[in-house]
Amino acid sequence: MNTTRATPGKDEIALLPEFARLGLDRIALVDSAVAAREAVAALRDQADWGFDTESKPTFVQGEVSDGPHILQLATLERAWVFLLHDTASRDLGAQLLADAGHAKAGFGLGDDTKRIRAKLGVEPTGVIELNHLFRARGYRKDMGVKGAVAVLFGQRFIKSKKAATSNWANPRLTESQLIYAANDAWAAAVVHRALKDRPAEPLSAKP
């Protein structure tokens, strides 16, 4: 019995059509008490969220990150980017993460949850590691958002290397940072819904 499925490689993904991403009109920056309360009200209307964080990268050996600096939560329609240097945004974001009534799906969340415990002092609940769901379907390697979008939708998810390695501790984010951060969480929400809606196909038997 063949118990594994192939994970698409970079060259295969590069040939796929581009996956449409959220624009700025569907991304909310959460950097004040008012914005945080609005985000909480909107997010609590939905049971499942996409989830991710961003931390200022470290480039010197031995340097320890004090992240996360950004928290991203998303529904299928919108995404919210919480700036954690703002007290209200940090406190209400932490409350959302500790809310057991909502699923929080994402990729590679082990490091994210460790940093959240250390910095925000809460235990994220309802966390769903999407790589585990793919592994249960026979994919041996971690998918990541690029592989997941390729497998489920036959499309290529764009991630900017420049944005990925930018300074997430800046008090003001650029448009490219907002788009990068929001879409990581939003794509996770879209992938999670697709996995819920599509039953796993049986693995084929080898002759």
pLDDT tens digit string along 3-43? 688 888 889 999 999 999 999 999 999 999 999 999 999 99
Measured distance CA(196)–CA(194) in Å, rounded: 5
Extract the tokens encoding 40: 């909480």
Question: Is the distance from CB of 26 to CB of 160 less than 8 angstroms?
Answer: no
Predicted TM-score (pTM) of the model is 0.91
61-65, 114-118, 163-167, 186-190: which has the minimum mean pLDDT?
61-65
Q: Write the CA distances from 108 to 95, 148, 181, 187, 197, integer angstroms.
A: 21, 12, 15, 14, 22
Q: What residues contact residue 108 under an 8 Å CB cut-off, 6+ apart?
A: 129, 131, 142, 144
Q: What is the mean pLDDT of residues 120-126?
A: 94
The CB-based long-range contact list for 3-6 (8 Å cut-off, 24+ gap) reads 3/138, 3/203, 4/138, 4/139, 4/140, 4/203, 5/137, 5/138, 5/139, 5/140, 5/203
Residue 207 pLDDT > 90: no
Measured distance CA(22)–CA(182) in Å, rounded: 8
Extract the tokens encoding 195: 């996995």
Query: Using omega within 30 degrees of 0 as the cis cutoff, is the peptide bond preceding 68 cis?
Result: yes
Q: Return the percentage of the chain with pLDDT > 90, whole number.
A: 78
φ and ψ of 75, to 5 deg: -105, -170
Question: Is the distance from CB of 75 to CB of 134 less than 8 angstroms?
Answer: no
